[in-house]
């Protein structure tokens, strides 16, 4: 059996809440490692002396628990297998959204103090339903992503000395933990990621939202992949699809975009007017939930390396707990405004600073913003110089491997 590798960034975040009277909700795209994370938590508890008999793990992706269809089934099974009136009990429910009206049972367990509760789900609106109001004020959410590059190196048992070759693989295959159980070959990894992609579309988008036009949904998903890192609108996508002699309204596209985002297949990033200090309603960017989708879906058709690099930096930032938006300053665009607590960074991402025009484009927009927040340009250049007019430059891989962000 393959040894489970700890994902310390998430273990460190959840540790202060273990054993505390709050429901721990872990959300994220399918196959990002939520189930393994629950098993790591169980191992940690066992290592600290918790009796395995005091922990109940239910995985709704397993046929073993197929009989748990509704909140009544869940209630009956848990109360039968976890005795009341004894402290130190732990309940783990994986892919809880597969259980009808699961919130009723979970809220009841919490009210009765039956166990310390941990649940996972593969949908961003897991806690958005009317029923979820039963849990208001009783839970804390932890958002999990696929592996970032530093974790990819750990899973590969590689050091930073191998970083260039490994980053090329990371750009191609992405960060799904499951690929590390397989041969690193294009066909093998491509089939695996395509299977994840299809499962998300069918289970988390089509079935969950009763999508009638699956072909249209797939076209919109392909459009997002092909335009990764570009600003767009629902109307732009609608016009593109209609140019292919298909019927499609902007409202329909808007709904499909929302459902794709809720499944974590994509992430919507809104624009922020730095001068006017307000969020803008039009021209969002969409990034994929894992950069490996780009190669698996589009193959060699995708030529925008800068867009792929932006996707990688975006996922790195949100994994590190930053809230990310696109910056607009007059008519200029800043790739990312990253905010965490009192810290704000402006970031430009480009493939290579190949000539003075590119240097001026990337540094110039940041130089025009007259505030004291750190401003950074990232590129794949090996050498450029540490800064220009106070704007710092980092090699992009160095930035991803920096612990102090």
Which CATH number belongs to the domain containing residue 99 in this structure? 3.40.50.300
Confirm if 60 and 67 have CB atoms less than 8 A apart.
no
How far is C-alpha 234 from the geometric centre of its chain's CA atoms?
22
Tokens of 390: 């106070």
* pLDDT average, residue stretch 104-131: 90
Same domain, yes or no: 160 and 280:
yes
**Of 115, 144, 173, which marks where a domain is finished?**
144
95 exposure class (CB count in 10 Å sphere: 0-12, 13-18, 19+): buried
What confidence tier does 403 reach under pLDDT thresholds 50, 70, 90? Answer: confident
Same domain, yes or no: 293 and 396:
yes
Per-residue model confidence (pLDDT) at position 84: 66
Same domain, yes or no: 170 and 114:
no
The answer to whether residue 132 scores a pLDDT higher than 80 is: no
Same domain, yes or no: 376 and 327:
yes
Rounded Cα distance, 97 and 379, in Å: 40
Same domain, yes or no: 139 and 155:
no
Nearest Cα neighbor of 267 from 376, 145, 385 is 145
Per-residue model confidence (pLDDT) at position 130: 64
Same domain, yes or no: 250 and 294:
yes
With respect to residue 1, please indicate whether it lies within any of the assigned structural domains.
no
With respect to residue 3, please indicate whether it lies within any of the assigned structural domains.
no
With respect to residue 2, please indicate whether it lies within any of the assigned structural domains.
no
Rounded Cα distance, 233 and 252, in Å: 12
Query: H/E/C letters for each residue in the chain?
Result: CCCCCCCHHHHHHHHHHCCCCCEEEEEECCCCCHHHHHHHHHHHHHHCCCCHHHEEEEECCCHHHCCCCEHHHHHHHHHHHCCCCCCCCEEEEECHHHCECHHHHHHHHHHHCCCEEEEEECCCCCCCCCHHHHHCCCEEEEEECCCCHHHHHHHHCCCHHHHHHHHHHHHHHCCCHHHHHCCCCHHHHHHHHHHHHHHHHHHHHHHHHCCCCHHHHHHHHHHHHHCCCCEECHHHHHHHHHCCCCCCCHHHHHHHHHHHHHCCCEEEEEEEECCCCEEEEEEEEEEECCCHHHHHHHHHHCCCHHHHHHHHHHHHHHHCCCEEEEEEECCEEEEEEEEECCEEEEEEECCCCCCHHHHHHHHHHHHCCCCCCCEEEEECCCCCCCEECCEEEEEHHHHHHCCCC
Per-residue model confidence (pLDDT) at position 229: 87
Per-residue model confidence (pLDDT) at position 21: 95
The answer to whether residue 106 scores a pLDDT higher than 90 is: yes
- Mean pLDDT of all residues in the chain? 93
| pLDDT tens digits, 138-152 | 999 999 999 999 999
The residue ranking higher by pLDDT, 385 or 230, is 230
Tell me the backbone φ, ψ of residue 75, rounded to 5 degrees: -60, -45
Confirm if 54 and 90 have CB atoms less than 8 A apart.
yes
Confirm if 257 and 227 have CB atoms less than 8 A apart.
no
| Greatest alpha-carbon span in the chain | 71
The residue ranking higher by pLDDT, 405 or 74, is 74
With respect to residue 252, please indicate whether it lies within any of the assigned structural domains.
yes
Tokens of 234: 């629902």
Rounded Cα distance, 168 and 156, in Å: 13
Same domain, yes or no: 136 and 198:
no
**Of 127, 144, 161, which marks where a domain is finished?**
144
Same domain, yes or no: 245 and 133:
no
Q: Is the dihedral of CA 172, 321, 97, 116 positive or negative?
A: positive
Rounded Cα distance, 322 and 343, in Å: 9
Nearest Cα neighbor of 376 from 340, 349, 405 is 349
Same domain, yes or no: 98 and 128:
yes
In this prediction the pTM is 0.95
| pLDDT tens digits, 21-67 | 999 999 999 999 999 999 999 999 999 999 999 999 999 999 999 99
Same domain, yes or no: 131 and 158:
no
* pLDDT average, residue stretch 286-302: 89
Rounded Cα distance, 34 and 27, in Å: 8
With respect to residue 21, please indicate whether it lies within any of the assigned structural domains.
yes
Cα separations (Å) of 220 from 131, 211, 256, 359?
Answer: 30, 13, 8, 34
Tokens of 116: 């310390």
- What total of structural domains would you count in the chain? 2
The answer to whether residue 18 scores a pLDDT higher than 90 is: yes
Same domain, yes or no: 236 and 328:
yes
Task: Kindly calculate the radius of gyration of the chain based on its CA atoms and give it in whole angstroms.
Answer: 22
Per-residue model confidence (pLDDT) at position 1: 47
Residues 6 or more apart whose CB falls under 8 angstroms from that of 236 comprise: none
With respect to residue 124, please indicate whether it lies within any of the assigned structural domains.
yes
* pLDDT average, residue stretch 157-184: 96
| pLDDT tens digits, 328-351 | 998 899 999 999 999 999 999 999
The residue ranking higher by pLDDT, 296 or 256, is 256
Same domain, yes or no: 353 and 284:
yes
Per-residue model confidence (pLDDT) at position 128: 80
The answer to whether residue 86 scores a pLDDT higher than 70 is: no
Per cent of the chain over pLDDT 70 is: 98
**Of 144, 177, 208, which marks where a domain is finished?**
144
Rounded Cα distance, 223 and 234, in Å: 11
Structural domain range at position 182:
149-401
The answer to whether residue 111 scores a pLDDT higher than 60 is: yes
């Amino acid at each position: 059996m393959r040894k489970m590798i700890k994902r310390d960034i998430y273990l460190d975040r959840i540790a202060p809440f273990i054993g505390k009277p709050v429901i721990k909700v872990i959300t994220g795209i399918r196959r990002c490692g939520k189930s393994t994370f629950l098993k790591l938590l169980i191992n940690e508890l066992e290592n600290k002396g918790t009796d395995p008999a005091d922990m109940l793990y239910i995985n709704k992706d397993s046929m073993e628990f197929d009989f748990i269809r509704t909140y009544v089934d869940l209630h009956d099974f848990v109360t039968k297998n976890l005795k009341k009136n004894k402290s130190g009990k732990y309940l783990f429910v994986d892919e809880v959204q597969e259980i009808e009206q699961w919130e009723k049972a979970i809220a009841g367990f919490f009210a009765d103090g039956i166990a310390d509760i941990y649940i996972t789900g593969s949908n961003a609106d897991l806690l958005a339903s009317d029923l979820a109001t039963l849990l208001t004020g009783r839970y804390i959410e932890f958002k999990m992503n696929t592996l970032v590059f530093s974790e990819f190196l750990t899973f590969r048992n590689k050091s930073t000395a191998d970083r260039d070759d490994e980053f090329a693989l990371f750009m191609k295959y992405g960060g799904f933990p499951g690929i590390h159980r397989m041969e690193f070959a294009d066909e093998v990894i491509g089939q695996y990621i395509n299977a994840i992609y299809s499962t998300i579309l069918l289970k988390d988008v089509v079935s969950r939202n009763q999508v009638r036009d699956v072909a249209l949904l797939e076209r919109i998903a392909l459009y997002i992949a092909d335009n990764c890192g570009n600003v767009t609108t629902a109307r732009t996508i609608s016009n593109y699809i209609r140019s292919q002699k298909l019927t499609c309204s902007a409202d329909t596209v808007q709904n499909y975009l929302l459902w794709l985002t809720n499944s974590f297949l994509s992430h919507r990033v809104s624009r922020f007017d730095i001068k006017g200090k307000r969020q803008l309603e039009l021209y969002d960017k969409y990034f994929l939930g894992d950069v490996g989708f780009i190669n698996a879906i589009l193959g060699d058709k995708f030529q925008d390396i800068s867009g792929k690099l932006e996707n990688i930096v975006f996922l790195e930032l949100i994994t590190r707990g930053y809230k990310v938006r696109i910056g607009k300053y007059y008519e200029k665009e800043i790739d990312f405004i990253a905010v965490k607590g009192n810290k704000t960074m402006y970031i430009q991402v480009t493939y290579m600073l190949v000539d003075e025009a590119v240097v001026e484009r990337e540094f110039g927009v940041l130089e025009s913003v007259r505030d004291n927040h750190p401003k950074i340009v990232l590129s794949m250049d090996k050498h450029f110089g540490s800064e220009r007019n106070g704007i710092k430059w980092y090699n992009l891989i160095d930035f991803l491997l920096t612990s102090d962000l």
